[in-house]
Amino acid sequence: MTKAAQDTLLVQAGRELKASGVSVNPPVVRASTFVFKSLGDFQTAGKTPYSTPFYGRVGTPVSLAFEKAVAELEEGHAAISASSGLAAITGVFLAFLSQGDHVLVPDSVYDPVRRLCTRTLARMDIETSYYDPMIGAGIVELIKPNTKLIYLESPGSGTFEVQDVPAIAKIAKERGIRTAIDNTWATPLFFKPAKLGVDAVIHAATKYIVGHSDAMLGVVTTSEDAFLPVRVALQDTGACAGSEEANLGLRGLRTMGVRLRQHHQSGIEVARWLATRPEVMKVFHPALPDCPGHAIWKRDFSGASGLFSVEFKPLAEGSMAAMIDGLQHFKIGFSWGGYESLVLPMHPETSRVITSWKERGSVVRFHIGLEDVSDLIADLEEGLGRLRLA
């Protein structure tokens, strides 16, 4: 049988129909405890706890189905679900790093990851160095004898630089250094880092995979030799995904292809429109030619999601609040990846790049949802009319 297309996998992966008259999606099994008919059955299940229901914290039928589906989409060895995206990231760091080790992290990284490094990892005597996300093969100059992990985030949080993942992964492989990447923005549909040699591909499944802003969920797809270290780290920290959340992740996968195509189209249309506005200094969207790493995005990615940032020209005091508070179709809120459009002012201290914006203009992150794009643009046009330049 020929390999199924990606849209077919989205509908069918992780769904094994072994008999007639069964539910189209795996049912939710609410269980902490699984019982066995004999000691032999119990011992057999204990030898394969990551593929057979054994104990709720290790996995349930629905979480195992979700993991199988994600791994197939990522074209990786296997996947491990977690209670959130940050829990998944933490598990990867703990799997690959020990006391005295060194990790390289992009300077535009997701702020909770920076806090993880400066607080938790620092207490464990793990050293973090922050690198320019556009460094590419130049990262070789930053590698130390004790470097054990290179972490990537492409595109970067807030500033949306697209990293040269193949170049960095190649250098890491040659030196026996593990690599991990946050692939939440692109999803497995638009970018497949596992095929480029990345050891651990992380998703805040809370976002585009769940797709409805109603569950916290994380997932990591790994190479074969990285699976057990990550699996054990997540198990040891108790960061398991609940059955209900894993079920919502499976539900989200079934429609993710349709949703992401709309996010891609609407996001680019709104970003291009904003780039023409006199109030705007710069739009940070990987599909726009002047975004850092645009050529890499064209080379490595097959699409874009609906998240990007806008740098406005310096504004008069109170102008940003006047614009945002009056928006009808954009709501103020953290996270993204749901069906709804969101707006969020960025903090200047978030990263090296954003710090430079502190003296220039205001930066706002937009998530373009599934609303009619003409309504969104009309809403933004009215909002921009409330801005006053400094």
CATH number of the domain residue 88 falls in: 3.40.640.10
263 pLDDT exceeds 60? yes
Q: What is the mean pLDDT of residues 343-349?
A: 77
Q: What distance lies between CA 27 and its chain's CA centroid?
A: 26
Least confident of 9-13, 80-84, 137-141, 346-350: 346-350
Calpha distance 206→249 (Å, rounded)? 8
133 falls within a domain: yes
Candidates 101, 107, 110, 231; catalytic one: 110
Residues 184 and 217 in one domain: yes
Q: Are 107 and 133 in contact (CB under 8 A)?
A: yes
Same domain for 160 and 266, yes or no, is no
Query: Residue 345 sits in which domain range?
Result: 256-384
pLDDT digits (tens, 9 = 90+) for 2-30: 788 888 888 888 777 565 566 777 778 88
Same-domain check for residues 236 and 298 = no
Looking at residue 102, its pLDDT comes to 98
Q: Which of 198, 227, 252 is the last residue of a domain?
A: 252
Same domain, 84 and 187: yes
**Residue 136 and residue 48 share a domain:** yes
Residue 156 lies in a domain: yes
Element (H, E) at 85: helix 85-96
pLDDT at 323: 95
Q: Answer whether residue 13 is part of any domain.
A: yes
Q: Of 100, 104, 128, which is closest to residue 115 (Cα–Cα)?
A: 128
> Domain check: are 278 and 181 in the same one?
no
Average pLDDT over residues 334-352: 81
Exactly one of 207, 231, 251, 259 is catalytic; name it.
207
Confirm whether 389 is domain-assigned.
no
- Looking at the fold, whether 286 and 355 belong to one and the same domain comes out as yes
Q: Which of 67-81, 302-316, 341-355 is least confident?
A: 341-355
Range with the poorest average pLDDT among 34-43, 49-58, 286-295, 374-383: 49-58
The CA distance from 263 to 304, in Å, is 8
> Is 390 within the bounds of a domain?
no
Average pLDDT over residues 188-207: 97
Write down the pLDDT at residue 53: 81
**Known catalytic membership, residue 379:** no
pLDDT at 1: 67
The catalytic residue among 101, 107, 164, 182 is: 182
Q: Which of 233, 252, 271 is the last residue of a domain?
A: 252
Lowest mean pLDDT among 43-57, 145-159, 281-295, 334-348: 43-57
pLDDT exceeds 50 at position 356:
no
Instruction: State percent of the chain over pLDDT 70.
Output: 94
Whole-number pLDDT of residue 351 = 44
Which of 197, 222, 252 terminates a domain? The answer is 252
In a domain, 1, yes or no: no
Tally of domains within the chain: 2
**Chain centroid, CA 19 distance in Å:** 35
Mean of pLDDT values over 249-265: 96
User: 276 and 167, same structural domain?
Assistant: no
pLDDT given for residue 18 in this prediction: 64
Contact residues for 262 (Cβ-Cβ < 8 A; gap 6+): 370
Q: DSSP readout, 362-389?
A: -EEEEE--SS-HHHHHHHHHHHHTT--B
The tokens describing 104, both together, are 């390289």
DSSP 3-state assignment of 169? helix
Highest mean pLDDT among 18-27, 76-85, 106-115, 340-349: 76-85
- Whether 193 is in a domain gets the answer yes
The verdict on 96 and 234 lying in the same domain is yes
Lowest mean pLDDT among 35-44, 97-106, 108-117, 297-306: 35-44
The CATH number that applies at residue 315 is 3.90.1150.10
Among 50, 55, 57, 254, which one carries the catalytic annotation?
A: 57
Residue 110 a catalytic site member: yes
On average, the pLDDT of the chain sits at: 91
- CA–CA separation, 152 and 164 (whole Å): 10
Extract the tokens encoding 89.
């990231």
Q: Are residues 124 and 240 in the same domain?
A: yes
Rounded Cα distance, 114 and 63, in Å? 29
Q: Could you give the strand order of the β-sheet that contains 218-222, starting from the edge strand earlier in sequence?
A: 78-82, 218-222, 200-203, 178-182, 147-153, 102-106, 127-131
| pLDDT, position 9 | 84
Q: Is residue 234 part of a domain?
A: yes
Structure tokens at 320: 């940003």
Query: Does position 54 have pLDDT exceeding 90, yes or no?
Result: no
Q: What is the pLDDT of residue 359?
A: 44
For residues 352 and 218, membership in a common domain is answered with no
Other beta carbons within 10 angstroms of residue 246's beta carbon come to 30
Say if residue 79 is in the same domain as residue 66.
yes
151: tokens are 């972490």
Does residue 296 carry a pLDDT above 90? yes
Decide if pLDDT at 355 tops 50: no
Which of the residue ranges 163-167, 328-332, 351-355 would you say has the lowest mean pLDDT?
351-355
